[in-house]
Amino acid sequence: MDQTIISGNVKTAYDEFYQKHDEAWRMLGAKYKAQHIIDVCKGRIFKKVLEVGAGDGSILKFLADQDFAPEYHAVEISESGVEHIKSRDIKDLKSVQLFDGYKLPFGDNSFDLIILSHVLEHVEHERMLLREIKRVARHSVIEVPLDYKAGVDKRIKHFLAYGHINVYTPTSLRYLLSTEGFVVEDDLTSMIEPEVTRFNTYINQKKPKSFVTSLKISTEFTVKNSIGKIFGKKMNEQLANAYTVLCKKADQHVNIF
């Protein structure tokens, strides 16, 4: 595959991001992302795991500390991300490689599980990456933020600031996966935890700490959780901030044209 398929400015942006990244903020987010992976895979054993777009290795660090699998591998498009992963001394991490964003340097069915956590929303050619993931692994865990809401086109600058060039709902992600030959075996929705919102409000946004603000954050989370429990899966998907799926290859090839 042509190494230039990823735009030069995209690779530069992520190199700079990991050079300047906030360790505490990324580790806080990674803690919950790792737990979503563990939860959606509950009852299953995966021995050889690859994280694609592994960032700075935060998620793998949490998974390894909880003995999620006996063997881990990572690929990442940014050199600074690769260096962060190597510096973490992650238990049972066997390899860390730089890759071009699409072509995975592994043979067919090399892994039991691929993790793609908060990556797909950044990908310029998402179907190309999904086909490569399907080639290399039997199962995949994919998590995306649920950015799509009415009026999302009015907030393009906001999402581009985070590098989100694709927006999803649970149904649109399932449609994408189905048309690329994946079968969803399990899924879960999640909302941003109060701990994360407080950190973002008081540390990232540097707003003054306030009992009223903290109470509002906790109350909103509790109310949304309660509504989701009462009205079920469909309402949960409308209220959620992220969607996680465990999927496998379909038995039959899907022809979309």
Is pLDDT above 70 for 184? yes
Report residue 97's pLDDT band, with 50, 70 and 90 as the boundaries. Answer: very high
Q: How far is CA 207 from CA 161, 176, 214, 216, in A?
A: 20, 39, 11, 14
pTM of the model: 0.90
Beta-bridge partner residues of 51:
74, 115
Q: How far is CA 228 from CA 149, 170, 222, 236, in A?
A: 17, 15, 10, 5
- Is 120 within 8 Å of 21 (Cβ atoms)? no
Share of the chain above pLDDT 90, in %: 81
Average pLDDT over residues 114-121: 97
Report residue 35's pLDDT band, with 50, 70 and 90 as the boundaries. Answer: very high
Residue 113's contacts (CB-CB under 8 Å, 6 or more residues apart) are 41, 46, 48, 49, 50, 69, 137, 138, 139, 140, 141
CATH 3.40.50.150, applies to 3-190+244-249: yes
pLDDT averaged over every residue in the chain: 91
Is pLDDT above 70 for 21? no
Quick: pLDDT tens for 132-164: 999 999 999 999 999 988 888 888 888 888 889
**pLDDT score, position 256:** 67
Q: How far apart are the first and last CA of the chain?
A: 22
Q: Domain residues of the chain, as ranges?
A: 3-190+244-249
Is pLDDT above 60 for 129? yes
**pLDDT score, position 217:** 97
The amino acid at 139: H
